[in-house]
Amino acid sequence: MANASATAITQRLIQFNTINPPGDEQDCTRHLGAMLESAGFEINYFEYDERRTSLIARLAGRGTKPPFCFGGHVDVVPLGLAPWSVEPFAAKVEDGKLFGRGSSDMKSGVAAFVHAGLRLAQTEERAADVVLLIVAGEETGCDGSKHVAELGVLPECGAVVIAEPTSNYPYLGHRGALWLEGTVTGRTAHGSMPELGENAVYKAARAVTKLEDFGFNERPDPLLGSTTLNVGTFEGGININSVPDRAKFTIDIRTIPGRDHAATVMELGQYLGPEVELTTKVDVVPVLTDAEDPWVQETFTLLEPVLGEQPEPRGAPYFTDASALTPACGNPPTLIMGPGEMAQAHQSDEFCVVDRIEEAAELYHAMARRWCGLL
């Protein structure tokens, strides 16, 4: 597929079933690695679990300028309960849209920067390396990117683009995520004699109701807004005719810069009281780049003719692998920008507009060429 279009590369990636859990990204990642290696990239694979494969692909340049990096993940979320009207892994194009799980989130973005990388490999005299960071396990808390970050194998980068869905509009960052599980215990008894037991569901329900009034007492960020809290799931008991002795609920907190996650867990624990045991399930920090950064301003100018306007500073509500990759790459300026549609992420009949995929490939190529002194 060395000469394939960005759309064709996306189609092939969609055909790999990488639903997470379990993920099973190995075949998809090695397919991309083989393409890039044949074009001259140095390839290194990293597994944080069986068949949970990430890769770092590096195209060598000349000079001392730090690398230009692209990043993205190849795992996708489950299909959901709502029925699909199209085959989710057939990667069918219809009416200018490419349908399939992962088409917007975010195999189109990965395909677009891989396409740009293959084109760059055909050009000599690059003044900097180009690095592609393709990871597993993002959807469940950036597991793959955290793994490569902890290994210490990531280079110090000059700029990073994370190709998550933004309709090719540059976003300066995103909120963090703190996912907690609350566990409440009680004492079981026969359902006909509840006075002999201690109902954990009642206790957990009181805690959840209390969370509806919890406030974070902070000043909103101009781009990312305020920290938010949502109770996502609730479960308790094992049968109808017993007093439940255990109940659980999950809390999804989306944070803004300046909020300390460990302090937030402690604050919530004190607010809910000793009956609730809180366990952290996902902890990824927010990322935000200064709009006045010279590379950001240069990129905004480059994108203006395509977008039809000078980009304005924006922040994304979701989290990305930048939470782990950007700090591990030396905290370079980072943009979130990809061809997918935000509103299509995790949807049934997910699609990406074909023209945006090809547009993203061109934009990524232009951004990297400019960084590498080729424009």
Q: What's residue 63's pLDDT?
A: 86
Give the phi and the psi of residue 165 in degrees, each rounded to 5: -65, 120
CB 161 within 8 A of CB 114: no
**Within 10 A of 87 (CB to CB), how many other CB atoms are there?**
11
Question: How many angstroms separate the CA atoms of 319 and 123, rounded?
Answer: 34
CB 155 within 8 A of CB 329: yes
Mean pLDDT across 8-20: 98
CB 183 within 8 A of CB 276: yes
Task: Answer whether CATH 3.10.20.90 is correct for domain 6-174+286-371.
Answer: no
> Cβ contacts of residue 198 below 8 Å, gap of 6+?
186, 187, 243, 245
Span(s) in the chain for CATH 3.40.630.10:
6-174+286-371
**pLDDT above 80 for 26:** yes
Span(s) in the chain for CATH 3.30.70.360:
176-284
- Write the pLDDT tens digit of every residue in 282-308: 999 999 999 999 999 999 999 999 999
pLDDT band, residue 67 (cuts 50/70/90): very high
pLDDT band, residue 332 (cuts 50/70/90): very high
**pLDDT above 90 for 97:** yes
84 exposure class (CB count in 10 Å sphere: 0-12, 13-18, 19+): middle
Residue count (the chain): 375
* Residue 340: closest CA among 13, 4, 45, 68: 13
Question: How many angstroms separate the CA atoms of 209 and 205, rounded?
Answer: 6
Q: What's residue 108's pLDDT?
A: 98
* Residue 119: closest CA among 371, 375, 364: 364
Q: What's residue 266's pLDDT?
A: 98
**pLDDT above 90 for 124:** no
pTM above 0.85, yes or no: yes
State how beta strands 128-135 and 65-73 pair.
parallel
Q: What's residue 156's pLDDT?
A: 97
CATH class of the domain at 176-284: alpha beta
**pLDDT above 70 for 1:** no
Question: How many angstroms separate the CA atoms of 55 and 135, rounded?
Answer: 6
**C-alpha angle 155/156/158, rounded to 5°?**
120
Q: What's residue 2's pLDDT?
A: 60
Q: What's residue 190's pLDDT?
A: 98
Segments of 21-163 assigned E as strands: 42-49, 52-59, 65-73, 93-94, 97-99, 128-135, 159-162
- Write the pLDDT tens digit of every residue in 130-166: 999 999 999 999 999 999 999 999 999 999 999 999 9
Mean pLDDT across 336-365: 98
Alpha helices in 255-344 (DSSP H): 261-272, 294-307, 322-328
